[in-house]
Amino acid sequence: MRIAFLTAPAGVEQIELTDPWQAARDAGHEPVLVSTRSGKVQAFHRLDKADTFPVDEVVGETSADSFGALVLPGGVANPDFLRMDDKAVAFVRDFFDRGRPVAAICHAAWTLIEADVVRGRVLTSWPSLRTDVRNAGGTWVDEQVKVCDHGPNKLVTSRKPDDLKAFCDAFLRVFSEDAD
């Protein structure tokens, strides 16, 4: 399955990109780095610059129809930038409209909120987003990973880098179930 990993040009938390990417690849999936512009994305380790990664496809030049699932890595700047980009928000919303599974970790819930896909769903995120999730009509829970089956697709969410193992295990299971 082709899995889109949507990131902004700068600000993605490196481990929240690389660990799920490797888990997807190890499970036989094809991870594809999608961003709002071509070139490279700058990853961070907390507030320090880390590695850069080449962009495979650009939002606005690709569609959710090209992918079986979506992963939204976190970091603070990454989802904040994405939620201000109309094409990125539409790309995320399109996965929900098509009933495709989505996984989001940490601050990535901001992008889900902007895409207006949180209402009626139970999810987790970085704790400081709980009020944002509630104000968007969702139910926030403090759990390592949460799988929500509300609507035609499944949403997998997780709180932070310490939850990455559980996050990867859950989204791989959900993505495999959806592919069957």
pTM over 0.75: yes
**Active-site positions?**
106
Give the residue numbers spanning the domain of 169: 2-179
pLDDT tens for the 180 residues of the chain, in order: 999 999 999 999 999 999 999 999 999 999 999 999 999 999 999 889 999 999 999 999 999 999 999 999 999 999 999 999 999 999 999 999 999 999 999 999 999 999 999 999 999 999 999 999 999 999 999 999 999 987 778 999 999 999 999 999 999 999 998 776
CATH number at residue 73: 3.40.50.880
32-50 in b/e form (b: 16+ CB < 10 A) is bbbbbeeeebbbbeeeeeb
> What is the domain count for the chain?
1
